Structure formats: structure tokens, C-alpha cells
Chain A
């Protein structure tokens, strides 16, 4: 589904990603962990097509297509979704109108007819109930005045509405209490199938108690320095990132 090959990217001439290699297949859940500043969010942003970052080397293929050559909306049309670490507040744009536009734009991209109003409303209500979102949120402006938890639930709600093939969750657990994490994780799990995949970007292990990963990768200094099973996440939680840092820094000294 997603093949990242030797990806280098940075911002204003400063390199942040230093050759990422990653392969995600349908049905898999991957977690990317790493200390602050390791490049986790940069990777998520580059995949979704944020303009601020410049890709200097490498390639990303999504179902065999060159992902990096597409504008963000085409990536979404192809089935990629990024749950934002900091969802943007847009006063004056109602959540309903926003979602309706997004759903129909993606359908248009895929050559489908716009959803009829009743079916849309029904789907929306179902997904809202799943995410424990109050109906009043829909007539409110997008994310405006939402609490941290409401914003993150709204992200997963959008994901449920758009049904992506690959969902990237960028620090979705940050700032959430345990109940909210459970709701968010539950929403993600319900959307899992053999055809889609999830990439969880997180600093802490706790979200992975609820969204069980098949693979855990540790990102450090813009590279994946270790990959393993979910046990790796537990190990990190126990020992902290320092043990990885020390290991890597030592081995790099040796190599030099």
C-alpha cells in the first residue's frame, strides 16, 4: 500500500528526515515512536502534503502511485487521511458543511455521485454516536472553541466519514485523558479492516494499549533506528528513549 524509500525532507534547508524506509501493507497497524524532535510529525506532514516541508531525496508510493507529486486533496482522494495533532479552528465554517463538502469532493474524485442528503445525515449521526460526539457540535464552527478532546474526536469522526485506506494519527493521544483515548481508539479499531491500514505516530506507549500495533518503529534523528513488535513499545515505555539514544549514539561513534 505505502512504500517509503530513502525519504529525506526538511524545512528551510534544515534536514529533518534522513532517509526513512517503511513498507505498510493492507490490514497492518504500524506505530512510529520517538523522542521529541525525532521527526515523527514531520513524517506525518510530508505524507499528507504540507507545503512547509521540502522533500530533497527519496520516494513515496501509495498503491503504486507517486504520492509526493500529488497535492494534498489528491492524496486524500486516493485514500490517505491525516488526523492532525493540532486540528485547525475555522470560525464561520460549520462542521456539517465542511464534512459534506469533503465527503462529496472525495466521491467526485473517485467518480461517484454526491451523497444524497438523507443518507449523508444518517451516516453522520451513526458515526457521531460512535465517537460520542454531541449533535450540537455539528452546527458549531469547525473546531472553534472545542476542547482538546472534542477536537481529537472530531478528527476520528472525520476519518470515519471519509473512510480512508491509510489513516495517519499524528499524536492523537496528546492531551487526552484516558476516557477520551479509549473513545478515540475504539473509533479507530472499528474502522480497521483487512483492506486498510493505520500509522500511529506517538510519543507514548499508552495509545498502543488500545490500538494494538503489528509493528513498532523507533524514529531518532530522522531515521528509523529500530523496528520490532509491540513489545518494543513496552520496552521503550519501561526504559525511556535514552536507552535507544545511547545505543545509537555509541554505535555511530564506533562507525566513525
Chain B
């Protein structure tokens, strides 16, 4: 059976099982789009350097209904992040949100199935915002997620409230008995004057392949503040397309840090839509890839309204045969005067066979703006290396110190301390030298 036929079969099954969710019409529309567009090939401008079509030649199990997990407590504990005792912990298993496993530890949060939110008091929020990312991601991959939306979650941070501890979101794929396709979906609504920290990770358990096609949409209201941290360190037999679509609909502040340390093919879409005056957005990223892994960060900052500020810094270290892609778009719409938008991408290549494609893209339609972008690709600073070696530090450790120093720039933007230390430790392990 070819891929499209297989998806058709699964889709029909899903539609017959979940008839009255209120989402079936949205799914049907998205499935039509998917049928029309198919899986993006490298002929698609946005997928020029990232080839995912090959991933769909494999057979995946693709759960469309919730079943009890066979993961043990030990499996789950291995996935948990430091600080989890206080955090609100949300679990997706094979792309479906798991209420039995998830624990909400803050009164400031409301967590419910998206199907429910689509019908109750939150239905306006859902109808206005769900699927907004498809305006920016015109490809079959985004449509594929929406076509199968089910087991999705709606997360609401109440007006004026601040959960004391972060929300940890664990995306777990159980690939012990076959290749798994996971499609987690969530919609987050950060109310007026609320604040929240979100940390998200991806873990595949088992040795079969996994492909995760995730979409998270976040709406940020006036005077709200959001920190979002994505940590990707899954095994090399796992692949993912991870979309985070942030829409700031009132004067608000967002801060995202994307850390990508491992995985087979990893594609991140981070969109930040500045849809109100005086919004501020900070986008940071660090990718440190080795082996055969491929990391692609596509970012969009869309200045829709005037007087917004955005700052973006992505840094990459690429070793072995790994490849990196950075594509950073900044749109300044005609009415978005007085925009300040900055972007920078810096890369260090550690081997002759490592490569990176960096593409800044500014599309400015207003005339009174300040925008800048820059990208560098280079090798490790030889002068710095000699300086450290001249102080008795071996070349290997000197390299580690310099690479760690390169990464610190991004690490220091991870504000929750246990998470910062955790990521720092992952990097120190990779560098085989712990500076602390």
C-alpha cells in the first residue's frame, strides 16, 4: 500500500470513530489539503535542504485511538526532567495526549481535551486560533497533522495568573514493537497579564524508528509573558518535524530557546506573529549535531503591527557528517512601521564533511524600520586555542572549553535553573569535559 492510500485508510477509520468531536470538518478540510500537496519534496522552496519524503517510504503504526500505555513507571521516570516534582507534567504518548499520566500542579492552569474546549466556554478561542499555523506553513506536513487531529490538548493559563513552576511537556514515542508515527497537537492560550514557562522534550523508547510531526499553537494575550524551551535530544533513529506557532495578539513578551542535540532528521518551524503593537519577541537556538544527523531550523518573525521588537540568535556546532540548515525570515508588513528586528546565525564546523546552509530572508514592506541580519560559518578560533594551550590546557580540553564558551551565549537564556543545568550537562557530556 502506498503512503497516501495508507493515510486514507487511517483517516477514514478516524473519522468513523470520532464523529461528533466538532473537529471532523476541520480534519476533512486538512486531509483534502494534504491530498493535494502531499509530502514536501526538496523541490518545495521551504524544504530545499531537508529531505523527508524518504521517511514516508517506511511503514508506520499510526494510532488513531487512545489505548492504555504499556510503558512502565521506570520508563516514564527516565524521561522526566529535573525539577519535575514541582512542575506540571503533561504527557503525549505516540502523539495522543494522556490524561491518566499527566499531572497539573497549578491552579493557574486549565488542561482539557481540545475536543471539549471546542464546544465549551473556550470555543471562541479555539475557533479563532486553531489552525492559524497553516497560514504560514503551506505544505502537506502541517496539513497532515491537522487532518488527524485527535487526542489533542487545550491548555489555558488563567487571566492574571502565574504558575509558580514550569509546565513540562513530554512527547514520548513507544517504538518497541514497530515504527511509529506520532502527531501531537496542542493549543495554548496565555490570558491577559498571565505568565508561563513551558519546557518540551521528545523521547523515543525502543529501537524501531519514530517520526513525530508535531504542531503547537500558542496565543499570547495583552501583557502576558511566555518562555518556551524546546529540548531535542532523541536518538538518531528518530525523526521529527516540530512546529511552534506563536501569535502575540496583545502587547506581550515571548522568549523561546530551541536546543537541538541529537536526532536523525529534525526540522523545526518556529513562527512568531507580532499581531499587536509594542510586542517583544526573543528567539534563541543552539544546535550541536554529530554523526549523520540533520537539523533544520526554519523561523518566521512576522511584524504585522507597528513598534514591535524582535531579536533572534541561533548558534550551531556541526561535527562529523552532520548537516545544518538555518532559514530565518523576517516579514515587516506595510503598516508595521518602527519595527526593530535583529537576526544572527553563527556556525562552527568541526569537520571537513560537516556542512551548514544558512539563509537569512528579510522581506520589508514598510519604510521606517530597523532590521539587521548576519550569518557566519567558520572553524574554531585557532588563536583562542593557542592561548588556552599555552596555559597548559591540552588541545582536546581547550577545544571543549571554546565550544562550551560558544554555547554559553544561548544557554544563559534558559531561565529555569534546573533546565539550564540539565542542558549544560548534556553539552558537557558531549564535549567530554565538565567545566564545573
Taking Cβ atoms with an 8 Å cutoff, the residues of A that contact B are 48-51, 71-73, 75-77, 81-82, 84, 87-88, 90-93, 97-98, 101-102, 105-106, 109, 141, 158, 162
Bound CA span A105–B384, Å: 17
Bound CA span A75–B436, Å: 26
Given contacts A90-B384, A92-B408, contact A73 B401 (CB under 8 A): no
Least CB distance, B325 to chain A, in whole angstroms? 24
The 8 closest A-B pairs by CB, nearest first: A92-B405, A76-B392, A92-B408, A106-B392, A72-B389, A102-B391, A93-B405, A88-B387
- Most chain A beta-carbon contacts within 10 A, residue among B387, B393, B402: B387
- B101 CB-CB contact with A under 8 Å: no
B384 contacts across to A, CB distance below 8 A: 88, 90
- B406 CB-CB contact with A under 8 Å: yes
Bound CA span A76–B405, Å: 22
Q: 1/0 per residue B405-428: CB within 8 Å of A? A: 111110000000000000000000
B394 contacts across to A, CB distance below 8 A: 73, 105
| B397 x A105 contact (CB < 8 A) | yes
| A91 x B435 contact (CB < 8 A) | no
Q: 1/0 per residue B92-109: CB within 8 Å of A? A: 000000000000000000
| B392 x A98 contact (CB < 8 A) | no
B402 contacts across to A, CB distance below 8 A: 90, 93
Bound CA span A35–B381, Å: 30
- B77 CB-CB contact with A under 8 Å: no
Residue of B nearest to A74 (CB): B392
Taking Cβ atoms with an 8 Å cutoff, the residues of B that contact A are 381-384, 386-395, 397-398, 401-402, 404-409, 435-436
Contact partner of B390 (CB less than 8 A), chosen from A72, A92, A141, is A72
The secondary structure that dominates the B interface is helix
Given contacts A93-B402, A106-B392, contact A84 B407 (CB under 8 A): no
Least CB distance, B431 to chain A, in whole angstroms? 13
Least CB distance, A46 to chain B, in whole angstroms? 12
Contact partner of B387 (CB less than 8 A), chosen from A71, A84, A105, A106, is A84
Contact partner of A97 (CB less than 8 A), chosen from B390, B409, B435, is B435
Contact partner of A91 (CB less than 8 A), chosen from B390, B409, B436, is B409
Bound CA span A91–B291, Å: 27
Bound CA span A92–B435, Å: 12
| A162 x B406 contact (CB < 8 A) | no
Bound CA span A48–B383, Å: 13
Given contacts A73-B394, A105-B397, A162-B391, contact A141 B386 (CB under 8 A): no
Contact partner of A93 (CB less than 8 A), chosen from B382, B390, B395, B401, is B401
| A76 x B389 contact (CB < 8 A) | yes
| A101 x B387 contact (CB < 8 A) | no
| B407 x A92 contact (CB < 8 A) | yes
| B408 x A105 contact (CB < 8 A) | no
Bound CA span A76–B391, Å: 6
Residue of A nearest to B387 (CB): A88
Contact partner of A73 (CB less than 8 A), chosen from B381, B393, B404, B408, is B393
A48 contacts across to B, CB distance below 8 A: 390
